[in-house]
Structure 1
Amino acid sequence: MAAERLDAIVVGAGAAGLACAADLVGGGLSVRLVEADGSPGGRMRTDRVSGFTVDRGFQVFNTSYPQVRKRLDLRRLRLRRFSPAVLVATPRGNRRFTDPTRDLRGGRDLLVGRVASPRDLLAVGALSARDMLEPTARLRSRPDTTTHATLRKAGISEDLIETFFRPFLSGVFLEEDLDTSARVFHLVWRTFLRGTQCLPADGIQAVPLQLAAELPPGVLLTRAPVDSLTDGGVRLADGAELDARAVVVAAGPRAAARLLPGLEIPEGRTVTTVYHAAERSPLTEPTLVVDERRRFLNTCVLTEVHPHFARDGRALVSTSVLGELPPARDASLRAALAEVYGTDTDSWETVHRTTVPDALPAMPPHHPLTRTTRLRAGRYACGDHRATGSLQGALASGARAAREVLADLGRGRVRP
């Protein structure tokens, strides 16, 4: 009996692959979504380690992404909120940068000038109002430059950039030079202003698991690593071949480049996250802490976001640093955390650490906010490395791939 010939195969069950597969199925195609791992998720993965719930790298779920609102049932995720503030650790003590539209009392440091001058506050307010209210198409069409240049053009002082924007955005874009595209910055700043920063009660992998649960039975095939693409489809690592009219590679950038020689991929940003368990919470609020001296990207007490991230009653502290973290830096990181939290960290237990290569693509000025997924006849590539480094970028790229496949195969329509 001849093997079934599918309409489309999607390689990789991260956010982009899940969105693509869902829209292809919705367009009436026969689809197989193949995933090398035992479960879907891509970089959005959650581990259970000695009773602790730990994501693979510190991640935050933003409720304002358009693709998120279209595809996910937020109530089912049982979201737990971070506070609408950032604590900035400075040599002069911790300073609180609060969104005053959400927490006026918490904006005391802003109001008395401990964080920013009145001129800076006016400049940040004007920039924020414009980013929040201006149509997205106009934001996308602005002349591009670096994030640092656009902040200075907005009238924000170098002092506030160094105190707040550089340490905060280093954790957002995984680069310390504020060289990320200003267009990307404005779009991301808009989502912070419009959305709420949360974590699902079961960890970040609850997001792709919900997307996968919406697929019809038999579409998702796990533990099926792809060895290579063939003229008529894909060859799996076990030698089995699947045939299809179209193949969409939705894997990470390095895996995609292996399967699609010649594919142009951006430089990747690497991040390491360390999880410590403490007998007592060093900060009794669900607030992100960043460091003016940039000894780390950010830190927070995850059990203040959701107590069940630790099952034994201890506090779970997450701290991320740019790149890899050699063991020789452990002592200096603990010392920095002791200073920032105002507590002894010698007794903290290291329960987990994870390094995520290519956690985000580099997005310098003139980085394309979206691009075609078509490579050649029957071959497509999608993912946040083909759009913007975010969940929104991944989902939107997967949706674009589905639209282009459906258009090329002459079948159906999917949502924009």
Structure 2
Amino acid sequence: MINKEYKIHIVGAGVSGLVAARVLENNGFSPVIIEATDTVGGRVKTDIVNGFQLDHGFQVLLTAYPAAQKYLDFKSLELQRFLPGASIFKNKEQKIIGDPLRDFSLLFSTLFSGIGNFSDKLKILKLNSYLKKKKVASIFTDKEQSTHSYLKNYGFSDKMISEFFKPFFSGIFLESELETSSRMFEFVYKMFGEGDAAIPKAGIQAIPNQLQQNLNNTTFLFNTKVAAIKDGIVTLTNGEKLESHFSIITADASNLISNLKNQATNWKSCDTLYFETENRIIQKKLIGLIPKENTLINNIFYHTSLKTVTKTDKELLSVTIIDSKNLSEEKLVAEVKKELKEYCSIDSCTFIKRYKIPMALPKLTNLQYEMLPSETRLTTQVFLAGDAQLNGSLNAAMISGERAALGVIETISNTIS
């Protein structure tokens, strides 16, 4: 059988599935992607509302991600880059802290911010230098501890942890106690240090859109849901059965494969609220943090501080909430507006839309960076991909998609030989 005659189905048109399709195409196969919604992207999507680009949650691309450098054309994405730092709202004042070695304009504001002590600033430089030299493979083989205990052991003051590290990394890890593995902290910190955080000019969905545009021999079945997968057969919810030599599942496989019922992935959730405002309180291209216990708001960002494809006269503000405390949408919006006024002096904003994201990040232990193609194999003909296989990141989604496709290719070549 020649390669293009193999029936290979990929469940899910997220980043992982699109990369798997690319690898299969590069090796002469013509896969079919089955997607439950009407577009590519999975969790990486953008809507246009009132002329604003609303990403499904506050998401950024770290340009130092090795897999992103391999599979994306950064230039055509027209990446809009953040400054390497944050604006911290404390005692009704805005304090700016950042990496002056990468952007000199942040030097004086960082030195005199009052966030952390002088020793903390030196430790940040030391940590930057240490992680720059440390190989990614070493990060993911080191013993795991919580990020909080890692920072304490490194010697950072409680003040530095509570006023910078906690609010900043809580927004990345989507949990407020920094219980996330130190492996993830070191990896993300290293990526921030070696590249930029950025959003494509057309919004975060430009990433999966570009991956889709680079596919030439892949068939897409949109608005199509899968009910079950067995070796050789993909069953759709409408009862149709598709013959399949190999299947790659990029979504939660426990719902599709009967003997995996007790192995469902646990997920972290978050909410993102978007508001229209007259002006920007944060003038630089920086994320805003509120380092106060028990606030609903974790971070804020003015998306209009970056260039966007759409043009509006007003400013777009996103607010990320890790724990919405089960408030109704009306109550949540009211409380967030109250906090914006109290902590950030933002007193006139119009609510646009809420994104409730129940499956924002997988909850994982024993985080990995890499896996062998053979490790993606679940049964003779079914393979697993998706960031939950490794660690919760866009980079992991790409690597796992690549490895699952290589697992299929390896299996076929072993059969032929």
The range that moved more, 329-338 or 18-27, is 329-338
Cα displacement (A) at 1:404: 1.3
Distance 2:62 2:414 in 1: 33
Cα displacement (A) at 1:71: 0.7
**What is the aligned partner in structure 2 of residue 376 from structure 1?**
379
Superposed counterparts of 1:205-284, under 5 Å = 205-251=205-251, 253=252, 256-261=253-258, 262=260, 264-284=263-283
Cα displacement (A) at 1:73: 0.8
Structure 2 gap segments, 5+ residues each = none
Matched residue type, 1:151 = L
Cα displacement (A) at 1:357: 0.9
* 2:395 counterpart of 1:392: yes
**What is the aligned partner in structure 1 of residue 353 from structure 2?**
352
8 Å Cα contact 2:97/2:109 also seen in 1: yes
Matched residue type, 2:410 = A
8 Å Cα contact 2:231/2:380 also seen in 1: no
**What is the aligned partner in structure 2 of residue 74 from structure 1?**
74
Distance 1:355 1:411 in 2: 45
Distance 1:50 1:105 in 2: 34
SS in 2 for 1:337: helix
The range that moved more, 201-210 or 220-229, is 220-229
**What is the aligned partner in structure 2 of residue 153 from structure 1?**
153
Normalised TM-score (structure 2): 0.91
Distance 2:283 2:195 in 1: 23
* 2:331 counterpart of 1:331: no
* 2:292 counterpart of 1:293: yes
* 2:188 counterpart of 1:191: no
Cα displacement (A) at 1:113: 6.0
Name the Cα RMSD after superposition.
2.0
Distance 2:346 2:45 in 1: 31
Deviations 1:341-361 (A, max 9, x none): 32323xx21111111111001
8 Å Cα contact 1:96/1:107 also seen in 2: no
* 2:26 counterpart of 1:26: yes
8 Å Cα contact 1:184/1:369 also seen in 2: no
Percent of paired sites with the same residue: 30
**What is the aligned partner in structure 2 of residue 129 from structure 1?**
129
**What is the aligned partner in structure 2 of residue 99 from structure 1?**
99
The range that moved more, 86-95 or 181-190, is 86-95
8 Å Cα contact 2:231/2:381 also seen in 1: no
8 Å Cα contact 2:267/2:358 also seen in 1: yes
**What is the aligned partner in structure 2 of residue 322 from structure 1?**
322
8 Å Cα contact 1:5/1:243 also seen in 2: no
Cα displacement (A) at 1:227: 2.2
**What is the aligned partner in structure 2 of residue 363 from structure 1?**
364
Deviations 1:331-377 (A, max 9, x none): 221121123432323xx21111111111001234x334445221111
Cα displacement (A) at 1:411: 6.8
SS in 2 for 1:376: coil
Distance 1:115 1:29 in 2: 54
Distance 1:307 1:26 in 2: 32
Distance change >3 Å, CA 23–CA 94, structure 1 → 2: same
Matched residue type, 1:140 = F
Distance change >3 Å, CA 280–CA 105, structure 1 → 2: closer
Cα displacement (A) at 1:148: 0.8
Aligned residues: 402
Distance 2:308 2:334 in 1: 27
Cα displacement (A) at 1:50: 2.2
Matched residue type, 2:267 = G
Matched residue type, 2:256 = L
Cα displacement (A) at 1:187: 0.7
